[in-house]
C-alpha cells in the first residue's frame, strides 16, 4: 500500500505472468476431460464445507453461531449448488443479456479459454435464430446488414475457432481501399501492402458472423443455457442488502444470493448471476436498469443500406464523401457489393421507395461524376509532394485514381435507419458490464462499430480470465474497471475520429474543402502516416500517429 | 523501543475494541481505526491468547453485534472504500503466489482451481482479502488473525460466497497453531512481518507450520530511503492511503535480512519480486526492483 512511482523497468521477475494474459498461448493448452475434473472439484468443495462445519463447532468463534442450520440440510443445499441451482433458482457465473454478434462472441471467447471455460453462462435473447438451428444457404441473396471486420477482429474469430465457419459462407477479403470526395480535390488509396499486410479487412454478412459464432459455441464442451425470452427487471446487490444478508442468521446459500445480481425474465423465470453482461444493443435494457447514463447526439442523417450486383467481382472498398454524407461500396463476395449511403432523413426515405432502376442510376451517379468532378492528384500538387517525399512515397501513391465498378442491379431490399452517436458514461458497475453497442454506438462510417464491440469482447474475456487466475470475484468492480480503462480510451478515440470525419464533411465551405483535400493528399503520399492510419483502422493500434 | 511502541498500539487497540460504540457507518476516523486494526494483525511475542479477549466473546454475539460487523465488512471489502489500495494491489500479489506455487507443486497454471487438494494458511488474514481468492483457486484455506474483529469481518464476508465459506477463520496466532502441531502445504504471511516484534521467532513459527518441502511466502517493505519516502511519507502523509503511524520504518526488513532470517528458520528463499505502482494507470505490477515492496517465495528444507 505504498506507492513507488514507476521506474520504467520491465515488469518481469522470472514469473511467467504474461502467459496468464496471453490469449493464444492460453488457448493452445485446451485440455479435454476438464468437465470431469470440474465435477470432482465441486464434490471436494462440498466435502470441505462439511469438514469446516465440524471444525467450526469446536472452535468457539462467534461466527460459528451464523450457521444454525443443521448439517444435513446444509449439505443438501450444497448438493443443489453442484448443479448450479439453489432452491430451484438457477445460478450462473455470467448472464449475457443479448445473444447478438457481440454477446455470442463473448460466450465463445469465454468458452475457448482454459481459465474461463469452466464458467457457467446463461444467454438471454428472444431471437429464435439462437434455438431453432436454421442454416444459411449458400445461394441465398446477400443480406444488406454486413460488417467490415478488421484484421484484429479476424484474429479474435480465429482464436475462438469461429473463423472456419465464416469461411464456409460468403465473405470477401479486400486489400485495397479508395477514399475520395466530391470536390475533386483529393483522394487516398490504401493498399494492404502499405502496412505489410495481406488484407485490409473482410466484409461478412451479419447473419453469417452470428451463425458462425453459434455453430462455434454449439461445438464446444461448455456449460451454457439459452433463455429464449427477454429481460424484465434486474436487481443488483447494494451495500445495505448485502449487509442485511451478512447480518441475517440465514444459511450460506441464501446469503450468497443476496450478493448476486437477480434477473427476472418475461417468461417468469428468475436467475442469479455473478456478472451480468449487457450486450443488448444501443437501446440496452441492462444499461437502463443499472442506471448508467449516456452521452450522445443524433446526426440528423440516415443511412440507406442494400446489396447491389456488378457485372464482375469487386475486390476493393470504396468510399466517397458527398455533400450530404459518405457513400460506401463494400465487396461482399460473388458479384455483390454492399452499399451504405448516408444522407438526410428525407432523402433517405425517397431513396428507399424510388423504383429500382432510378436507385441504381442514383448510386452510379453518386459514385461517379455526381456532385463534382473526379479528383486529379495534380490539382493539389500531388506530384510535387510525392517527389518531395520520394523516399517515403508509398507504393499505392503511384496508383492513379480509379472509378468503382458500375452497379447493374439491386439485389436486396433497401433499409433506412437514423444515425446517432452514443457513449455510456460508465461501462461497469458492481456485477454489471456493458459491451458493444450497449456501451457505444457510432456513425457507420469506416465500418468500425462492430469492431469496437469485438474489441470489447477480447478485452473483457481477458480481464475475466485474469480475474479467475488470481481468484477474484468476477463481478467485482475493481476487476471490471480494468476492462473499462482498457476499452474506454480506445473507443472514445475511435468515436472522436469518426465524429470528426462526420463533422468535417457536414460543412461545404471552400477553405475547409481545401484542408480536407490536403489531408487526403498528405495521407496518400506520406507513407508513415498511411501506415499508421491503416494500423489504427485495422484495430491494431490504440491511438493513431503516436507510434 | 519497538516493544514500547507496540505495547502502546496494542493498548490503544484494546481500548478501541472495548468501546461498544463502534458504529462505523459514516465516520471516517472510525474507518481509520478499522484500518489500523487490520494492519496490526500479529504481535508475535505477546500472543493475544494470553491476554484477556478484548472483543466480545463468542457466546455474547447478538443480532446487533452481527449487523455491526456486517456493515464493517461491507466497507472493508468495498473496492472503492478505505481499503482501496489493498484491493488494487491484491491481484498482483496473487499473480506471484499463483505462478510460484503452481510451479513448486507442479500444478497446471491454466487451471481455474490449481490448488485443489492443498492446505494453505493465511497468517494475518485481515478481512480475508487473500484467503478468499486462494479458496477460489481451489486451496483449502485457514485464515488466522490476532484481531478478533478482523476474523469476524472475514467470516461475515466469506459467508456471502459458497466457495469462500469453506475457509476456516480463527482468531489466534501462528505460534498457537505451532503448539497445536498444525501443518500446511503453503504458509503465507503477507504484509505482516513488519508489524511483528520478533521477526526471527515469527519466521521460525512460519517454518514450523510448513510441511517439509512445503512453501512459505512472505511479503514486506524494504528498509530503504525510497521506502521511507513512498511507503511512509507518500502513502501515509500525502496520499492518506493509510492512517499515519501504520508503519515504522525501523521495523522494516531488507531483502537480505529476510532471506537470512528465513534461512535460519530452514526456509531457503528461491524467488523474489518487487511491486511497482504506476500512478498513471493506478495499477500495480511485478518487477525486478525490490527497493520498496517485495515478496519472497521459499521452500522448507526437508
Residue-wise pLDDT tens digits, B46-83? 333 333 333 333 333 456 666 766 667 777 788 777 77
Cβ(B232)–Cβ(B82) under 8 Å? no
pLDDT for residue A139:
72
Q: How far is CA A484 from the centre of its chain?
A: 14
Eight-class DSSP state of A195:
G
- Proportion of chain B above pLDDT 70, given as a percent: 76
Q: Is A425 on the interface with B (CB under 8 A)?
A: no
Q: Could you say which DSSP state residue A5 is in?
A: B
Alpha-carbon gap, residue B216 to B187, rounded angstroms: 5
**Partner residues linked to A139 by β-bridges:** none
SS3 category, A250: coil
Question: What pLDDT is stored for residue A382 in this prediction?
Answer: 43
Fold of the B2-300 domain? Rossmann fold (3.40.50)
On chain B, the residues whose CB falls within 8 A of the CB of A478 are: 79, 87-88
- At A529 the pLDDT is 61
Q: Are B83 and B127 in contact (CB under 8 A)?
A: yes
pLDDT of residue A418: 85
| pLDDT given for residue B84 in this prediction | 80
- What's the rounded Cα separation, in Å, for the pair A76 and A450? 46
Residues of A in contact with B85 (CB under 8 A): 1
Please report the pLDDT score of residue B29 as a whole number. Answer: 42
Which residues of chain A does B191 touch, with a Cβ-Cβ cutoff of 8 Å? 1
Cell of B100: 510460484
ipTM attached to this prediction: 0.76
| Cβ-nearest to A61 among B58, B74, B89 | B58
Within 8 A of A118 by CB-CB distance, chain B residues are 112
- In this predicted structure, what is the pLDDT of residue B247? 82
Asked if residue B229 has pLDDT above 70, the reply is yes
d(CA B177, nearest CA chain A) in Å = 13
CA-to-CA dists, residue B70 to A248, A503, B169, angstroms: 9, 53, 16
Q: Quick check: B260 pLDDT over 60?
A: yes
- State the Cα angle at B41 between B36 and B42, rounded to 5°: 140
Confidence (pLDDT) at A2: 41
Q: Residue holding cell 485457514?
A: B142
Cα A464 from Cα A474, distance rounded (Å): 6
For chain B, positions 216-255, list CB contacts with chain A under 8 A. 221, 226-227, 230-232, 234-235, 239, 241-242
Judging contacts by C-beta atoms under 8 Å, the chain B residues touching residue A27 are none
- Inter-chain CB proximity A1 and B58 less than 8 Å: no
Per-residue pLDDT for B149 more than 70? yes
Instruction: Select from B262, B41, B260, B15 the least CA-distant residue to B130.
Output: B41
B135 Cβ under 8 Å from any chain A Cβ: yes
Q: What's the whole-model pTM score?
A: 0.76
* Pairwise CA distance, residues A204 & A105, whole Å: 15
Instruction: Check residue A285 and give its pLDDT.
Output: 94
Residues of A in contact with B176 (CB under 8 A): none
For chain A, say whether B211 makes contact (Cβ under 8 Å): no
Within A236-391, strands assigned E span 261-265, 270-278, 294-309, 316-322, 325-333, 336-343
- Considering only CB atoms, A65 lies closest to which of B61, B88, B111, namely B61
Spell out, as residue ranges, where chain A has pLDDT lower than 70: 1-87, 185, 239-243, 245-253, 376-399, 443-448, 498, 500-547
Helices (H), ranges, A59-162: 71-82, 101-112, 129-132, 151-160
Does A242 lie at the interface with B, CB-CB under 8 angstroms? yes
Please identify among residues 92-111 of chain A the ones whose CB lies closer than 8 Å to any CB of chain B.
none
Give the model's pLDDT for residue B295. Answer: 95
DSSP state of B78: -
Q: Residue A30: how many CB atoms within 10 A of its CB?
A: 15
Rounded average pLDDT over B159-168: 88
Amino acid at each position: 500500500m505504498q506507492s513507488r512511482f514507476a521506474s520504467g523497468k520491465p515488469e518481469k521477475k522470472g514469473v511467467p505472468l504474461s502467459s496468464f494474459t496471453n490469449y493464444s498461448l492460453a488457448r493452445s493448452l485446451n485440455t479435454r476431460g476438464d468437465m470431469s475434473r470440474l465435477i470432482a472439484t465441486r464434490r471436494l468443495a462440498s466435502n470441505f464445507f462439511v469438514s469446516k462445519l465440524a471444525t467450526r463447532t469446536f472452535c468457539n468463534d462467534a461466527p460459528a453461531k451464523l450457521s444454525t442450520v443443521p448439517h444435513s440440510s446444509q449439505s443438501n443445499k450444497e448438493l443443489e449448488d453442484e448443479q448450479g441451482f439453489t432452491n430451484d433458482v438457477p445460478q450462473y457465473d455470467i448472464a449475457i443479456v443479448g445473444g447478438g454478434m457481440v454477446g455470442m462472441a463473448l460466450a465463445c471467447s469465454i468458452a475457448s479459454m482454459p481459465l474461463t471455460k469452466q464458467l457457467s453462462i446463461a444467454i438471454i435473447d428472444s431471437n429464435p435464430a439462437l434455438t431453432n438451428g436454421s442454416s444459411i444457404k449458400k445461394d441465398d441473396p446477400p443480406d444488406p446488414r454486413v460488417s467490415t471486420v478488421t484484421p484484429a477482429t479476424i484474429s479474435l474469430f480465429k482464436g475462438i475457432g469461429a473463423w472456419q465457419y465464416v469461411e464456409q459462407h460468403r465473405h470477401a477479403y479486400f486489400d485495397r481501399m479508395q477514399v475520395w470526395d466530391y470536390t475533386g480535390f483529393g483522394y487516398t488509396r490504401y493498399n494492404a501492402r502499405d502496412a505489410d499486410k495481406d488484407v485490409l479487412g473482410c466484409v461478412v454478412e451479419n447473419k453469417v458472423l452470428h451463425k458462425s459464432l453459434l455453430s462455434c459455441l454449439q461445438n464446444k464442451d461448455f456449460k451454457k443455457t439459452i433463455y429464449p425470452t427477454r429481460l424484465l427487471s434486474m436487481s443488483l446487490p447494494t451495500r445495505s442488502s448485502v449487509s442485511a444478508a451478512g447480518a441475517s442468521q440465514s444459511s450460506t446459500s441464501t446469503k450468497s444470493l443476496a450478493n448476486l445480481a437477480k434477473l427476472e425474465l418475461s417468461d417468469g423465470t428468475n436467475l442469479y448471476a455473478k456478472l451480468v453482461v449487457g450486450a443488448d444493443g444501443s437501446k440496452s435494457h441492462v444499461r437502463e436498469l443499472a442506471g448508467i447514463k449516456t452521452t450522445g447526439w443524433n446526426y440528423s442523417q440516415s443511412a440507406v443500406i442494400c446489396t447491389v450486383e456488378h457485372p464482375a467481382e469487386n475486390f476493393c472498398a470504396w468510399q466517397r464523401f458527398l455533400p450530404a454524407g459518405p457513400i460506401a461500396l463494400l465487396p461482399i463476395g460473388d458479384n455483390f457489393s454492399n452499399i451504405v449511403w448516408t444522407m438526410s432523413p428525407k432523402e433517405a426515405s425517397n431513396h428507399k421507395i424510388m423504383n429500382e432502376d432510378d436507385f441504381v442510376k442514383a448510386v452510379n451517379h453518386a459514385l461517379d461524376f455526381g456532385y463534382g468532378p473526379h479528383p486529379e492528384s495534380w490539382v493539389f500538387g500531388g506530384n510535387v509532394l510525392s517527389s518531395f517525399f520520394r523516399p517515403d512515397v508509398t507504393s499505392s501513391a503511384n496508383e492513379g485514381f480509379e472509378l468503382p465498378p458500375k452497379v447493374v442491379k439491386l439485389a436486396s431490399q433497401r433499409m433506412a435507419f437514423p444515425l446517432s452517436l452514443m457513449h455510456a458514461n460508465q461501462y461497469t458497475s458492481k456485477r454489471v458490464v456493458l459491451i458493444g453497442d450497449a456501451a457505444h454506438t457510432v456513425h457507420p462510417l469506416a465500418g468500425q462499430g462492430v469492431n469496437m464491440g469485438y474489441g470489447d469482447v477480447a478485452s473483457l474475456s481477458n480481464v475475466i480470465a485474469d480475474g479467475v487466475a488470481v481468484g477474484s470475484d468476477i463481478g467485482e468492480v475493481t476487476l471490471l474497471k480494468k476492462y473499462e480503462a482498457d476499452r474506454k480510451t480506445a473507443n472514445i478515440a475511435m468515436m472522436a475520429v469518426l465524429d470528426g470525419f462526420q463533422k468535417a464533411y457536414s460543412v461545404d465551405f471552400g477553405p475547409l474543402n481545401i484542408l480536407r483535400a490536403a489531408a487526403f493528399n498528405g495521407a496518400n503520399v506520406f507513407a508513415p502516416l498511411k501506415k499508421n492510419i491503416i494500423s489504427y483502422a485495422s484495430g491494431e493500434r490504440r491511438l493513431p500517429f503516436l507510434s | 523501543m519497538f516493544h514500547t511502541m507496540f505495547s502502546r498500539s496494542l493498548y490503544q487497540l484494546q481500548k478501541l475494541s472495548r468501546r461498544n460504540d463502534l458504529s462505523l457507518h459514516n465516520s471516517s476516523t472510525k474507518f481509520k481505526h478499522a484500518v489500523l486494526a487490520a494492519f496490526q494483525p500479529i504481535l508475535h511475542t505477546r500472543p493475544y491468547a494470553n491476554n484477556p479477549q478484548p472483543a466480545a466473546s463468542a457466546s455474547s454475539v447478538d443480532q446487533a453485534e452481527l449487523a455491526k460487523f456486517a456493515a464493517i465488512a461491507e466497507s472493508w471489502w468495498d473496492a472503492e472504500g478505505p481499503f482501496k489500495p489493498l484491493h488494487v494491489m491484491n491481484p498482483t500479489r496473487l499473480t506471484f503466489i499463483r505462478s510460484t506455487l503452481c510451479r513448486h507443486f507442479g500444478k497446471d497454471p491454466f487451471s481455474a482451481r490449481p490448488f485443489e487438494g492443498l492446505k494453505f494458511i493465511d497468517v494475518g488474514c485481515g478481512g480475508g482479502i487473500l484467503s478468499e481468492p486462494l479458496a477460489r483457486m481451489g486451496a483449502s484455506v485457514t485464515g488466522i488473525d490476532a484481531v478478533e474483529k478482523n476474523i469476524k469481518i472475514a467470516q461475515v464476508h466469506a459467508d456471502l460466497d459458497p466457495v469462500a465459506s469453506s475457509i476456516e477463520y480463527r482468531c489466534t496466532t501462528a505460534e498457537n497453531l505451532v503448539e497445536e502441531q498444525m501443518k500446511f502445504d503453503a504458509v503465507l504471511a503477507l504484509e505482516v512481518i513488519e508489524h511483528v516484534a520478533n521477526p526471527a521467532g515469527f519466521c521460525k513459527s512460519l517454518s514450523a507450520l510448513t510441511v517439509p518441502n512445503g512453501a512459505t511466502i512472505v511479503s514486506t517493505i524494504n528498509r530503504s530511503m525510497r521506502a521511507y519516502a513512498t511507503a511512509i511519507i507518500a502513502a501515509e502523509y500525502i496520499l492518506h492511503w493509510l492512517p499515519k503511524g501504520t508503519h515504522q520504518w525501523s521495523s522494516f526488513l531488507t531483502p537480505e535480512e529476510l532471506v537470512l532470517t528465513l534461512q535460519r528458520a530452514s526456509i531457503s528463499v528461491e524467488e523474489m519480486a518487487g511491486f511497482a505502482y504506476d500512478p498513471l494507470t493506478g495499477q500495480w505490477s511485478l518487477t525486478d526492483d525490490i527497493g520498496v515492496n517485495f515478496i519472497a517465495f521459499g521452500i522448507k528444507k526437508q
